[in-house]
């Protein structure tokens, strides 16, 4: 009897948001390598197209879909376009987001609100539209939310960011509990210090003085490669994770253990 290989994503279709660069681009490429069709989605059209073209150039199947996750109508449109383009939609990696390094004393109301909108409300909107579509179609689905170990650890100057990511973790648990009856699974991944950071704050973590302070606190002794987030993502999206939902997995080289 011939069975499908473990973690098989061949001919499945997934959306990856925030896929124009960094973690999202790496995961979009990795899912395509695993045989999936990928909707490369982010706010910057040129970045989406570049990632999709790179995937296609390596024999994968990907299409670029620029959108703003803070707009619920655009979230719904992205889902509809992906369904139409690939004939199905099996899951999504909700990965977009923004960063802010600011002491809580200096964080303005607007900056705090922006963090919640960009990192939490937009996640809810994207997930809600996915859930509505799958429930209406009578289909199952899998969602991976990109969180951070800042969701449960306190870092200097990350009050607003950390609160927004803590909300992502609870969103994961809440949706997983509510939607399990529909066959919809929701899990979260929490990266630690990685070799690429969100746009606009890369220089902070690349600075030699910051690395000298941070690296001794990481048991693995290094920043994580973006590729090291792919295995968990593939697992959560695959049938092998059919009984796994509402879980958070820290991928941080052991940083959160100390």
Residues noted as catalytic = 161
- Helix 109-116 to helix 159-179 angle, to the nearest 10 degrees? 30
Q: Is 161 exposed, middle or buried (0-12, 13-18, 19+ CB in 10 A)?
A: buried
CA dihedral angle for residue 17, residue 20, residue 22, residue 24, rounded to 10 degrees: 30
Pairing of strands 91-94, 61-66: unpaired
Please provide the DSSP assignment of 93-134 as one string. EE-------B-GGG--HHHHHHHHIIIIIHHHHHHHHHHHHH
């Amino acid at each position: 009897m011939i069975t499908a290989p473990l973690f098989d994503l061949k001919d499945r279709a997934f959306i990856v948001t925030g896929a124009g660069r960094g973690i999202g681009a790496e995961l979009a490429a990795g899912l395509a390598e695993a045989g999936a069709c990928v909707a490369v989605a982010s706010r910057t059209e040129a970045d989406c197209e570049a990632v999709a073209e790179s995937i296609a150039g390596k024999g994968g199947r990907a299409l670029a879909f620029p959108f703003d996750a803070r707009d619920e109508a655009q979230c719904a449109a992205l889902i509809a376009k992906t369904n139409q383009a690939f004939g199905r939609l099996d899951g999504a990696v909700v990965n977009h987001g923004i960063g802010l390094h600011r002491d809580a004393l200096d964080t303005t109301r607007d900056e705090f609100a922006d963090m919640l909108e960009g990192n939490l409300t937009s996640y809810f909107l994207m997930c809600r539209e996915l859930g509505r579509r799958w429930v209406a179609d009578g289909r199952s689905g899998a969602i991976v939310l990109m969180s951070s170990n800042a969701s449960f650890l306190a870092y200097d100057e990350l009050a607003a960011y950390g609160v927004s990511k803590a909300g992502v973790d609870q969103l994961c648990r809440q949706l997983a509990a509510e939607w399990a009856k529909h066959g919809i699974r929701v899990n979260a991944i929490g990266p630690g210090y990685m070799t690429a950071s969100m746009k606009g704050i890369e220089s902070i973590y690349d600075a030699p003085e910051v690395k000298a302070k941070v690296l001794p606190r990481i048991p693995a002794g290094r920043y994580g490669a973006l590729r090291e987030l792919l295995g968990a993502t593939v697992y959560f999206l695959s049938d092998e994770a059919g009984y796994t939902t509402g879980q958070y997995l820290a991928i941080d080289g052991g940083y959160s253990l100390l």
